[in-house]
Amino acid sequence: MTPELPDGVERRPFDERERLATRGDPVYGEPTDGDWRVWDAGRSKLGAMLSVGMDTGLDGGETVLYLGAASGTTVSHVADFAGPTYAVEFAPRPTRDLLPVAEARENLFPLLKDARKPETYAHVVEPVDVLVQDVATRGQAEVANRNRQFLREDGRLLAVVKARSEDVTADPEDVFDEFLDALSGYEVLETATLDPYHEDHLAVVARPTR
């Protein structure tokens, strides 16, 4: 049985096929139908996780820490159905693009910070129900380990491992295995590749074990 989508996310017909959609102001020219806007799984790893039927544990209304927010493609959809959403992005240019996205969503808080240094935003971020990790860097498991401190005991890590960001020459399966081996303080609940939406990406659902 396919897990239910979070409240505020639906599969709706667009272009004669069912696609994910959320209610909110469009931010990058996606198709809309009234208040609903397409959540393109080809541009969103979290959208792809929902599209392939992973049990993310998302219900709607959660407090979220999103690492690797970029210009807001995915995190804008998250803020459409979640509660307070903290969006961490390291690069100044995409953070500038993220600001107008946040202006239209009073629950979305952009942070120009490095996800590898959670101590720089620990004074701002409250305990969260969901940690979404979508960072393109080496040491992706260590990023998840360092940010585990923000997760509530019953929270969820939704991480996407980008094989080419770790080692462009390595076999992706080896990179995925190394990530799972290096993940500390989590119990892995589910994994899945994100083909055909994103090549050489592994999605991981885990919960803290402390």
User: Is 169 assigned to a binding site?
Assistant: no
Q: Which residue segment(s) compose the domain that 104 sits in? A: 41-208
User: Is 33 assigned to a binding site?
Assistant: no
d(CA 119, CA 147): 9
User: Is 90 assigned to a binding site?
Assistant: yes
User: Is 115 assigned to a binding site?
Assistant: yes
d(CA 86, CA 175): 28
> Is 14 within a domain?
no
User: Is 97 assigned to a binding site?
Assistant: no
Could you tell me how many helices (H) and strands (E) the chain has, helices first? Answer: 6, 11
Burial of 102 (0-12, 13-18, 19+ CB in 10 A): buried
Segments of the chain with pLDDT less than 50: none
CATH code for the domain in which residue 115 is found? 3.40.50.150
> Is 70 within a domain?
yes
Number of domains in the chain: 1
The confidence score (pLDDT) of residue 166 equals: 87
> Is 29 within a domain?
no
User: Is 209 assigned to a binding site?
Assistant: no
The confidence score (pLDDT) of residue 1 equals: 63
> Is 87 within a domain?
yes
* pLDDT per residue as tens digits for the range 173-186: 999 999 999 999 99
DSSP string, 105-168: -TTEEEEE--TT-GGGTTTTPPPEEEEEE---SS-HHHHHHHGGGGEEEEEEEEEEEEHHHH-T
- In 3-state terms, what secondary structure has residue 203? strand
> Is 6 within a domain?
no
The confidence score (pLDDT) of residue 136 equals: 86
User: Is 74 assigned to a binding site?
Assistant: yes
Which tokens sit at 180? 């799972």
Q: Is residue 47 within 8 Å of residue 40, measured between CB atoms?
A: yes
Name the pTM for this structure: 0.96
* pLDDT per residue as tens digits for the range 142-157: 999 999 999 999 999 9
